[in-house]
Structure 1
Amino acid sequence: MLKSIRILLSIATFYDYEIWQMDVKTAFLNDNLEESIFMSQPEGFITQGQEQKVCKLNRSIYGLKQSSRSWNMRFDTAIKSYGFDQNVDEPCVYKKINKGKVAFLVLYVDDILLIGNDVGYLTDVKAWLATQFQMKDLGETQYVLGIQIIRDRKNKTLALSQATYIDKMLVRYSMQNSKKDLLPFRHGVHLSKEQCPKTPQEIEDMRRILYASAVGSLMYDMLYTRPDICYAVGIVSRYLFNPGLDHWTAVKIILKYLRRTRDYMLVYGGKDLILTGYTDSDFQTDKDSRKSTSGSVFTLNRGAVVWHSIKQGCIADSTMEAEYIAACEAAKEVVWLRKFLHDLEVVPNMNLSITLYCDNSGAVANSKEPRNHKRGKHIERKYHLIREIVQRRDVIVTKITSEHKITDPFTKTLTAKVFEGHLESLGLRDMYIR
């Protein structure tokens, strides 16, 4: 859902579409129940003389396990009756295209985003929705899922900011007055299970620290708008079961980095609408398992829309194998992205293959056809799926020089100069600096 919203916002920025927002009041009360469900009489509304009786629910209410599904089915039926088509690959995205007029609708629980190229067309959709449900018109979108949207229509840019969330997070973990850090993860530092608490006193001391809560808060920020902390958050999340002081220090470094970069925003705004992918891997840098880390990022309209940094599921025997595994995972993401964008019908050239850049010649060659049987015969079969994806022409895996690769921040620690140089390519920058 998050990547779908980022993709649609990126497209809307490129075409200068309208981006409106609506809210459904008491959304979960809109559907009749299919099941027979009973509840105790509500406090204050008990019928005298019938205290032993229970109430049978006629409609869905908040708190039922099926409430969200019932509401979603009710909305789906209604919006399709108005002529919208549901996206097969992202069920919460709907489209309606008629004689050059385009309208996209994104439903997230009870929040609705309306995106389109014709004010009158979108106004009609809003008016119809108001006849079906109790709606609150929020006008042009200022916030979506807690993310601030800062739009410059004159220069055709749109920025996503979580500065307010970062401020609250820093206060929550008493880091609002801390020093600022240049990097989310110190260059050359390695964490391991050897740094976990060993004595009962050390374990008791760490229980007082909100380690899991802090990592979860950082993950929320990373998933929404901050690909620059993806690798660092992935590393510290490996020690949730028994974190030590060194692990907690690494978490605080991420918070210090966010304090310095609170005004960094994920910005969309370019001269072309071409989806481009990049993939990378380190080699056996996890000191505990000797597994490698896969990294990938996809950009659209000069900003990142999808990113990953994930420890691989098996131990790679060579850098080629690690890069090949990473490329396969990225290629699977391409399959979804290509289908999703093709169904939107507004992104050009989606009948052509998506370019996926990789800096390892062996991985590029093996993605096209089997090479060097002796060194690669042991690779798990599931990773050879990339060859089928390449043969279907969903993706073209292309060699790129290391200096032009923007996935390094997702797989390894970097010096401050090199790290900062990659952020502009990801679309991350401080919009307040002119």
Structure 2
Amino acid sequence: MNEKEVQELYKNDAELQLIDDEPVSYDEAAIKEDWVKAMKAELDSIVRNNTWTLTQLPPGNKAIGLKWVFKLKKDAKGNVTKHKARLIAKGYVQQKGVDFEDAFAPVARLETIRLLLAIAAKGNWLVHHLDVKSAFLNGELKEEVYVTQPVGFEVKGKERMVYHLQKALYGLRQVPRAWNARLDKSLKELGFSRCTHEQAVYKVHNPSFILIVGVYVDDLIVTGSSEERIHEFKKKMKSVFDMSDMGKLSYYLGIEVEQTRMGISMKQEAYAEKILKMAGMSKCNATTFPMTPKLQLTKDEDGEDADPTLYRKIIGSLRYLIHTRPDLSYSVGAVSRFMQSPKQSHFAAVKQILRYVRGTVGYGLKYNGGGDDKLFGYSDSSYGTDVEDRRGTTGMAFYYSNNLITWSSQKQKTVALSSCEAEFMASTSAACQALWLRNLISDLMGEEAQVVKLFLDNEAAIALTKNPVFHGRSKHIDTKHHFIPECVERGQVCVEHVSGNLQKADILTKPLPRVKFAEMRSLVGMDDLHKDVNTTGESVGPVLTEFTGGKRCKE
């Protein structure tokens, strides 16, 4: 295959760079010194951890094969920071119930991570980042597992022998569960307790300080009211695990985090640039809105087919970008409905989103310090907007101390017969999220659960939540949607009216005109983080204020 054919096969520069920089086999890596050093470092880590012992394979047992996987570690700017070689077991040959029992391990939700950052910003706490080196090697196995010797590092004269694993190895199906169990045991020995409402978050409550730890596989973020206690925690963790202290949190799961005395900001600028490069739209013309107002996307069965692989790849990348870009939630959700059989009309809508990303690549969320510890949310719904099945879209957004922590834009599963019914169903979904957030915050902060204010712009839906009379307009509504009146009756949620012009969830339910879209984006809390920097380098973004129009809830 000549060079021209290779370039035709791999259409974008990112894939060509992947071929050039990251070996796909041991033979390719063995000729480069950096990768040889990385492989030796991986084996040294395995030996230091007492992961395996060399032995003869017992009769009736089968050894699992191993393979090398190579990865370049890069920072937010794309600079190479480390050559990483990982020895992986071919766990796909294992059978559940025979070779292992449990494979599940909890990780913190991204919305939980945002909540932790909002709590830290509110209390002016620093957030620290720890990385466990070769985390999965610390998991203790209960099963008898044998693996072959790694390619290129066989023991001379003992090539037919195998390794008996005492501890976990990457690639085994039971490894995530084993590592989580080991970490859970270690954190509890240090005095932490696991949060009831988020299994990947641990906390310590003391009359003089609070410490909170969020876990995402081998990445730990820790924050709290005492810097001295945080440093003590780091030292204790380093005595248990081989860890890297990354200092203040600055880059986490593709999210760029900046901590200043004014607050905490989050964006995915580098990731957005990668998406544009992958789609071949790095130099496209920018636009100021992600979707044409009143655009009605349909299945378009007679339309020209689009490349389904590229379409799904772009959509999947955009969905991860939503973690700091609520302004993209509705538009990306709308084009996600056609991944099974994408057409050129759908791809045109995706290109419009990418052009908007190009023009707003530096946008993100800013969490300001201070605040009142209050949790409140907005719920909205469109009515019959989908021309295919006439279902609406539910939008919700929740704020903690005036900082946006979670949002959602989802197509409703039931066809509503009126705008009141659509708003009522949306408010029920929002109530479920509100209960989880209030309980999680109460658990993390050691405080009594607060009443959550939920703002709606439909008076009829508000009346129905407060007085669930089964009259002609509501008797047919599914029982599950009558959950919110119980929440209101128990004093867990308080529903209030808000003007449609101040309904922050409106941007999550439909494509808005460009001027209205810009207004709602700013109202939600999105801004260009490039311009919010003063001469001292401190962020100076606008401080959001809570609107509490209408009748007040009882405190």
Per the TM superposition, whether the score is higher than 0.5 is yes
Matched, 1:411 2:519: no
How big is the shift at 1:25? 0.4
Deviations along 1:212-250, one digit per CA (max 9) or x if unpaired, are 10111110001x100000000110000000111110011
SS at match of 1:304: strand
- Report which stretch shifted further, 244-253 or 33-42: 33-42
The letter for the 2-side match of 1:70 is A
Question: What is the distance in 2 between the residues matched to 1:67 and 1:209?
Answer: 31
Higher RCO structure (Cα 8 Å, ≥6 apart): 1
Q: CA deviation at 1:294?
A: 0.5
What are the residue-to-residue correspondences of 1:70-109 with 2, within 5 Å? 70-109=178-217
Report the counterpart of residue 366 of structure 2 in structure 1: 267
1:283 is the counterpart of 2:383 = yes
Given that 1:149 and 1:158 are in contact with CA atoms closer than 8 Å, whether structure 2 keeps it comes out as yes
Residue 329 of structure 2 is aligned to residue 230 of structure 1: yes
AA at the equivalent of 1:409: I
Choose the corresponding residue for 2:354, options 230, 249, 255. 255
Contact 1:197 1:242 in 2 (8 A): no
Within the alignment, does 1:382 sit opposite 2:488 as a pair? no
Q: Percent identity?
A: 36
Aligned counterparts of 1:243 and 1:42: Cα–Cα separation in 2? 43
CA contact (8 A) 2:126 2:259 kept: no
Contact 1:365 1:371 in 2 (8 A): no
The reply to whether residue 371 of structure 1 matches residue 477 of structure 2 is no
1:296 aligned to 2:402? no
Give the drift of 1:207: 2.8
Alpha-carbon distance, 1:44 to partner:
4.2
2:436 maps to 1:339: no
Structure 1 residues 97 and 47, CA gap change in structure 2 (3 angstroms): same
- Tell me, in whole angstroms, the C-alpha distance in 2 between the residues paired with 1:315 and 1:340: 32
Pick one of 162, 165, 185 that aligns with 2:268: 162
CA distance in 2, matches of 1:139, 1:248: 42
**Match status 1:307 vs 2:407:** yes
User: Please, which of 124, 127, 134 is the counterpart of residue 16 of structure 1?
Assistant: 124
Q: In structure 1, what is the Cα distance between the partners aligned to 2:154 and 2:252?
A: 41
Q: Which amino acid aligns with 2:439?
A: K
**Can you list the C-alpha shifts for 1:74-101, whole angstroms capped at 9, x where unaligned?**
0001100110111111111111122321
Task: Give the deviation of 1:132 after TM superposition.
Answer: 0.5
2:320 counterpart (217, 220, 227) = 220
The alpha carbon displacement at 1:417 in A equals: 1.2
**Counterpart position of 2:453:** 355
Q: Is the 8 A contact 1:114 1:122 kept in 2?
A: yes
Give the CA deviation at 1:50.
Answer: 6.7
Matched to 1:230, the amino acid is S
1:171-190 counterparts in 2 under 5 A? 171-190=277-296
Match of 1:123 in 2: 231
Partner of residue 400, structure 1: 498
Q: How much has 1:150 moved relative to structure 2?
A: 1.7
Q: CA deviation at 1:289?
A: 1.0
CA distance in 1, matches of 2:301, 2:311: 13
Report the Cα distance in structure 2 between the residues aligned to 1:187 and 1:239, rounded to whole angstroms: 19
Number of the residue aligned with 1:316: 416
What is the aligned-residue RMSD (CA, Å)?
1.7
**TM-score, L = length of structure 1:** 0.94
User: In the TM superposition, what is the alpha-carbon distance from 1:372 to its structure 2 partner?
Assistant: 5.6
With 40-49 and 377-386 compared, the bigger mean Cα shift is at 40-49
Q: Distance in 2 between matches of 1:32 and 1:3?
A: 30
Match of 2:473, SS state, is helix
1:84–1:94 Cα contact (<8 Å) kept = yes
For 1:325 and 1:258, the matched residues in 2 are separated by 31
Task: Please state whether the residue corresponding to 1:186 is helix, strand or coil.
Answer: coil
Q: Structure 1 counterpart of 2:248, which letter?
A: E
Cα 1:8–1:382 change in 2 (3 A) is same
Match of 1:35 in 2: 143
Q: Distance in 1 between matches of 2:162 and 2:134?
A: 24
Give the structure 2 partner of residue 26 of structure 1.
134
Task: Tell whether the 8 Å contact from 2:439 to 2:449 is kept in structure 1 after alignment.
Answer: no
Query: Which range is displaced more, 275-284 or 262-271?
Result: 262-271
C-alpha deviation, 1:151, in angstroms: 2.2
Amino acid at match of 2:422: A
| Larger-gyration structure (1/2) | 2
> Which residue type is aligned with residue 421 of structure 2?
E
Whole-Å separation in 1 of the counterparts to 2:373 and 2:360:
28
Measured against aligned partners, the alpha-carbon deviations of 1:324-362 in whole angstroms (never above 9, x if no partner) come to 00000000001100110000126x7x5331000011111
For 1:372 and 1:379, locate their aligned partners in 2 and report how far apart those are by CA, in whole Å.
9
Seen in structure 2, the aligned counterparts of structure 1 residues 48 and 429 have a Cα distance that, compared at 3 Å, is closer
Cα drift, residue 55 of structure 1: 3.6
Structure 2: how far apart are the matches of 1:169 and 1:124? Answer: 40
- Secondary structure of the 2:257 match is strand
**In 1, Cα distance between equivalents of 2:481 and 2:199:** 28
Counterpart in 1 of 2:166? Answer: 58
> Which letter does structure 2 place at the counterpart of 1:84?
F
Secondary structure of 2:487's counterpart equals helix
Kindly indicate whether the alpha-carbon contact (under 8 Å) linking 2:201 and 2:214 is maintained by their aligned counterparts in 1. Answer: yes
- 2:405 & 2:371 partners in 1: Cα distance? 16
Residue identity in the other structure for 1:148: E
Cα deviations by residue, 1:152-196 (Å, 9 ceiling, x for unpaired)? 21xx22110111111111111011111111111111211011x24
Q: Is the 8 A contact 2:140 2:179 kept in 1?
A: no
Query: Where in structure 2 are the equivalents of 1:141-152 lying within 5 Å?
Result: 141-152=249-260
Is there any run of 5+ residues in structure 2 with no aligned partner, and where? 1-108, 533-555
Give the match's secondary structure for 2:203: strand
SS of the residue corresponding to residue 504 of structure 2 reads coil
1:4 aligns with 2:4: no
TM-score scaled by structure 2? 0.74
Secondary structure, in 3 states, of the residue corresponding to 2:233? helix
